Amino acid sequence: MSQYTAERKFGLAAVRRACALTDSVFNKLVKNETLVKGDKSPVTVGDYAAQALVCSMLQRAFPDDLVVGEEDAADLREESGRGMRERIIELANEAIVSPLKDGDDPAWGVGPGAEQDAASLLDAIDRGNHEGGKTGRMWTLDPIDGTKGFLRGEQYAVCLSLIVDAKPVLGVIGCPNLPVDPSKPDGAKGCIFVATKGQGAYQYDHEGLSPKSISIPHISTADISFLESVEAAHSSHGFNARVAEQLKVCKSPVRMDSQAKYCCLARGEGGAYLRMPTGVGYREKIWDHASGQVLVEESGGVVSDSRGQSLDFGLGRTLGENFGIIAAGKSVHSHVLEAVQTARAEEDDNKAKAHA
Ligand SMILES: Nc1ncnc2c1ncn2[C@@H]1O[C@H](COP(=O)(O)O)[C@@H](O)[C@H]1OP(=O)(O)O
Ligand SMILES: [Mg+2]
Ligand SMILES: [Mg+2]
Ligand SMILES: [Mg+2]
């Protein structure tokens, strides 16, 4: 029997249920349902409710596994968090009791009648407080990746990955706003991507049906159109433009929020995803890249930092010092890496001259 069959089945069903939740929250979101966290990033009732849902399912499905989740319930436990807390409990329970679909298992604590009280759901959110580490099994969850995209009604993703001994082995990414067919941008939306180490990468529809094997085609550097963040504060657009110039790339970059960029790359769009640091000392988080890495590797691509080294998922909640991320098809990764290193050297040279 293939490895991680139960985890994969769980991941697809949990992300499907979480996407239904976030999608319905978007349509109902009102003022005062968003907070600004200490690092100035937004978090909505949707982020918290989706983490409560997935962590409570994980607790029942894999009780011994650790979880590294983006959110924690500290602000919600305060008196000032009462309004948001009540709304989150309501939304999480709506998602928990929604009818069972093919692939769901009532043993995960979902389905009609499975409501939970506030204390259990806040504890479920805080199951994501694990510090990470080098050994054993741990899941990492970004309940809404690209919260800014979510608030704009653009791209965002629900991301769940299983990491074993510091290596991501399963990646599930739900993209409720991503067109099913890239050639029909105004057509049906909502995809779930699943990849398991050594077993390939697949795109499903938003119901978790109609799996389609996906892969990155062989392309030349001239055909690249870089995938990059919408937010210039998250990755340097200017640096990417210099890399594009080095490679004689003529096509404009495609900007979108969240790990939807990894998904697009994995199904053959863009050819490369560049995420170079902006120089503010930000440390990338494991939940922002674990699922994307499995997906891209299983669709025939390569993910590295700007030194050409693998990302290290064993350092804790972050990937450590930020050397940037280059994800690309096999046929172009080494060329993009070389161009990044040349652009870096030029930048360092210019800085040295400016200081001379
Ligand atoms: N300065 C930063 N550099 C890189 N990524 C960042 C920075 N600030 C926040 N992020 C994270 O980037 C991710 C979104 O990336 P993208 O731009 O590709 O959509 C979010 O998970 C966000 O974290 P957070 O969830 O805390 O807001
Ligand atoms: Mg966030
Ligand atoms: Mg998030
Ligand atoms: Mg994120």
Q: Each residue of 303-331: pLDDT tens digit?
A: 999 999 999 999 999 999 999 999 999 99
Residue having the nearest C-alpha atom to atom 24 of ligand 1: 41
Whether residue 173 contacts residue 2, with contact meaning beta carbons closer than 8 Å, is answered with: no
Out of 22, 41, 235, mutate this one to test ligand 1's pocket (max ligand atoms within 8 Å of CB): namely: 41
| Whether residues 168 and 266 fall in one domain | no
Task: Summarize pLDDT for 207-263 with one digit per residue, the tens.
Answer: 999 999 999 999 999 999 999 999 999 999 999 999 999 999 999 999 999 999 999
Report pTM: 0.97
Partners of residue 228 on adjacent β-strands? 255
Distance (Å) from CA 143 to ligand 4 centroid: 8
123 and 166 share one domain = yes
Q: Are residues 200 and 248 in the same domain?
A: no
163 & 53 share domain: yes
Q: What is the mean pLDDT of residues 11-32?
A: 93
Same domain, 171 and 262: no
Alpha-carbon torsion (293, 296, 300, 306), positive or negative: negative
What spacing in Å lies between the alpha carbon of 234 and ligand 1's midpoint?
A: 5
Given 169, 191, 214, the domain boundary residue is 214
Res 27: pLDDT? 86
Residues 24 and 165 reside in one and the same domain: yes
Number of structural domains, the chain?
A: 2
Last residue within a domain, chosen from 185, 214, 243: 214
What pLDDT score was predicted for residue 321?
97
| Mean confidence (pLDDT) of the chain | 96
Q: Which helix (H) or strand (E) holds 335?
A: helix 330-355
Residue 39 CA: nearest ligand 1 atom is: 26
User: Percentage of the chain surpassing pLDDT 90?
Assistant: 92
Do 74 and 55 reside in the same domain of the chain?
Answer: yes
If asked whether residues 70 and 127 sit together in one domain, one would say: yes
When pLDDT is cut at 50, 70 and 90, the band that residue 350 belongs to is confident
- For residues 104 and 56, membership in a common domain is answered with yes
Q: Which domain holds residue 276?
A: 221-355
| Catalytically annotated residue among 47, 126, 257, 305 | 47
Which residues neighbour 31 within 8 Å (Cβ) at sequence distance 6 or greater?
none
